[in-house]
Amino acid sequence: MRTALAQITSGADLEENLALVREYTARAAAEGARLVVFPEATMRAFGHRLTDIAEPVDGPWANAVRQIAAEHDVTVVVGMFTPGADGKVRNTLLATGPGVDVHYDKIHLYDAFGFAESDTVDAGDTPVTFTVDGVTVGLATCYDVRFPALFTRLANEGAQLIAVCASWGAGPTKTEQWDLLVRARALDATAWIAAAGQADPEVTGVPVTEGAPTGVGHSALVDPLGFPVAALDGEADLLVADVDPDVVATTRRTLPVLANARL
């Protein structure tokens, strides 16, 4: 299954961010992609108010994404914000396309490195999978990548590919941690990992709010043995590569960590 990772830098304006979804989806579809994965916070970048733009998954911004996916006959995964409890929002991934319409609310909130996502975001609690062209896809968001149990849970629920959508916080060794964690989770789940991050604003020249986790780039497609098949650097770009689900079955026979697990 041809898979695309759209490494963009989103901003405050919803329509401008939607235009990026439209542009990158069209480019991915033209290259034969069946699944297009956008980063966390595609709807609006971190560092801006979120409560004023949060909408249900059947709201106008989400419906515009549905129209884009339908126009190009592809499945799109995109990061947005939906209403949560007590005046908070939920950090949500919408997956929509032919026969697909699901959403995932980020389970593990980024209360780390001096940032407190839980101050404004309401956590989810349910792992989510869906199917594209016979390939079962799981969903994870940014800080989730530090929690192996979610990835093994998704794998045990049938996921052959796990999309990790991120707006990774910059800082010393943070890019190295991202690369290591993405590859480790592929090994934990013996699954493909499609890790789509926001591009690095320092490279793209997009102004951002200081202290907000606004991306480092380095999106990558990693195979079930943790080898990066294709990867980007910090610039805004589109990565398109093929995912072979048969590699998952072969790897799980050779390295049956899911079957061998005792805890």
Judge whether 40 counts as a catalytic residue. Answer: yes
Per annotation, catalytic residue among 40, 88, 117, 165: 40
Per annotation, catalytic residue among 55, 88, 117, 142: 142
Per annotation, catalytic residue among 55, 88, 106, 117: 106
Burial class (CB in 10 A: 0-12, 13-18, 19+), 254: exposed
Q: How many residues does the structure list for the chain? A: 263
Judge whether 165 counts as a catalytic residue. Answer: no
The answer to whether 43 and 89 are in contact (CB under 8 A) is: no
Which residues carry out catalysis? 40, 106, 142
